Amino acid sequence: MDVPVLAALADLVLPRTCAGCGVPGAMLCPRCAPLLAAPRLAEPRRFPAGFPPTVAAGAYAGPVRPAINAFKEQGRAELAAPLGAALALAVAAVRLGAGAPSRPPVVLVPVPTSPAAVRARGRDHVRELTARAIAELRAAGVPATGCRALRRRGRIRDSAALSASQRRANLAGTFALDARRRPAGALLVLVDDVVTTGATLTEAASVLAAGLPPGGFPVLAAVVAATPRSPGAPRADPVRTRRYRAGNVLRQDLDRLSRPRGKD
């Protein structure tokens, strides 16, 4: 029996607790859910060159960390609903910043998880999040599709103990563009669960952008949560974001989207 089925069965017999703080009741309690409804630009500690404009639905800190971990590593697949809603919010926000006059359809490109990680977990949690986010966006009237345009190639070392530059070197050549699935004529948004150093998104964005015609929209990215910027760290290089209107991210016309919330 696979992990999601076990989790679903456990829900039938065990009282549900908030995945963020552990209080009994909703899967994300009314205190924790709003932490994933606060879109902001992700600002890694050191911006890797080529880091795409990235919006996170919340900070990867406090109760958000155990909530994402419960979904990713502990089989609480039902969290795809609130976390997918959070990802949809981040996609909608990053799309606003692109300032596209005609609001082109948005194509969500999941950052591929390694086959070994998918085998170990028994599921592909980023694909689950992507599917849920697409459904949320469509329900809100945002034309959205998914495209698995990237695939993994080769093996990479576990990056947990590596510095940002070591991660970048470790990741070089990790992703390949699947020519049969190359999306065209749309706003491409890489999607992932979490951004920390930004190395993975940077590498994925460079591979994706290399397959696009020049002069189009830049590749964007959206994640459920981003490591918060440490106080005093330098802000984003303005040249880096020249083609991206960061101020638009905070425009509050995201109201059509449902916000992450605990559902029973």
Binding residues (CB under 5 A) for Zn ion: these are: 18, 20-21, 29, 32
Q: Which is nearer to Zn ion, 83 or 249 (CB)?
A: 83
Distance CA 196, CA 201 (A): 10
Asked if residues 88 and 257 have their Cβ atoms less than 8 Å apart, the reply is: yes
Q: How far is the CB of 124 from Zn ion (least distance, A)?
A: 26
Residue closest to 148 by CA, chosen among 110, 174, 116: 110
Q: Which is nearer to Zn ion, 27 or 137 (CB)?
A: 27
Q: Which is nearer to Zn ion, 11 or 124 (CB)?
A: 11
Tokens of 229: 């910027």
Q: How far is the CB of 18 from Zn ion (least distance, A)?
A: 3
Q: How far is the CB of 129 from Zn ion (least distance, A)?
A: 19
Q: Which is nearer to Zn ion, 32 or 199 (CB)?
A: 32
Distance CA 39, CA 57 (A): 4
Amino acid in position 234: P
Helix (H) or strand (E) holding 176: strand 175-177
Q: How far is the CB of 213 from Zn ion (least distance, A)?
A: 46
Q: How far is the CB of 75 from Zn ion (least distance, A)?
A: 19
Percent of the chain as helix, strand, coil, to the nearest 5:
35, 15, 50
Asked if residues 94 and 54 have their Cβ atoms less than 8 Å apart, the reply is: yes
Q: How far is the CB of 67 from Zn ion (least distance, A)?
A: 8
Tokens of 247: 């101020």
Alpha helices in the chain (DSSP H): 3-13, 64-73, 80-97, 115-121, 125-139, 164-171, 199-210
The pairing of strands 54-59 and 40-41 is antiparallel
Q: Which is nearer to Zn ion, 32 or 195 (CB)?
A: 32
Residue closest to 231 by CA, chosen among 43, 48, 57: 43
Q: Which is nearer to Zn ion, 15 or 213 (CB)?
A: 15
Q: How far is the CB of 27 from Zn ion (least distance, A)?
A: 9
Asked if residues 131 and 213 have their Cβ atoms less than 8 Å apart, the reply is: no
Q: Which is nearer to Zn ion, 198 or 260 (CB)?
A: 260
